[in-house]
Amino acid sequence: MGGIGVGSSSGVLRTLLGSCIGIALYERRLKIVGLAHVVMPDSMGRTSSLGKYADTAIPETIRKMMTIAGVGGKRLDLSAKIAGGANMFAQTSGTGTVPIGEKNRIAVEEVLKKLNIPILARHVGGTTGRRMLIDIATCTVQIQVVGQSVIEI
């Protein structure tokens, strides 16, 4: 939770999600991939645990991707796919407030929009957890839900 992983050329990055949002960022041409696991929508100015918050995790993931890409200050041509944001315990969470998973999704989409990073696929909401994987070589993103077949988004 709240972690950031990056990789290049080959391998798989993966994470498990409930109400958190997984953000797969990738530069297909260079085969540079980042995967962030956002727990909360807003850092409120905090400077630690950058991977935990939507507004800090995405820039930090990009910074790490640029470091391994070795492109200096040159902008990467990034795309994003997102998953997660479930409201798993809807019956026990009460009503009247926006579920944390939905808040996370909205925050992530706003940050990506500000950074002009297109979201090419989403697998969000619902009431179940998800396993999210991104293959670095192909930049394909797979989602698995307990009891269901793996799907590609």
Partner 1 sequence: MIPLTTLQLEQLAKLFHQGAGEASRALSRWLERDVRVSVDSLDQAAFNEATESLGPSDATLCACVMSVNGRITGKLLFCFDDTSGLLLCDLLLGRGTQSTRWGELEESAAMETANIVGCSFLNAVSESMPDSETLEPNASGGSTRTCVPSPPQFVRDFAASIIEFAVMDQAESSDTILLARTKFQIDDTPVAWNLLLIPDGLILDSMSRVFG
DSSP the chain: ---EEEEESS-EEEEEESSSEEEEEEETTTTEEEEEEE-BS--TT--S-GGGBHHHHHHHHHHHHHHHHT-TTPPP--EEEEEE---TTHHHH-SSS--HHHHHHHHHHHHHHHTT--EEEEEE-SSS-EEEEEETTT--EEEE-TTS--EE-
Q: Which of 20, 40, 57, 65 is flagged as catalytic? A: 20
Please confirm, yes or no, whether 20 is among the known catalytic residues.
yes
Looking only at residues 56 through 85 of this chain, which bind partner 1 when binding is defined by CB under 8 A? none
Query: Contact between 19 and partner 1 (CB under 8 A)?
Result: yes
Q: How far is the CB of 15 from partner 1 (least distance, A)?
A: 8
> Looking at beta carbons only, is 51 or 76 nearer to partner 1?
51
Site string for partner 1, 87-106 (x = CB under 8 A): -xxxxxxx-----x------
Binding residues for partner 1, per CB under 8 A?
1-3, 16-20, 39-40, 48-49, 52, 86, 88-94, 100, 128-131, 146-147
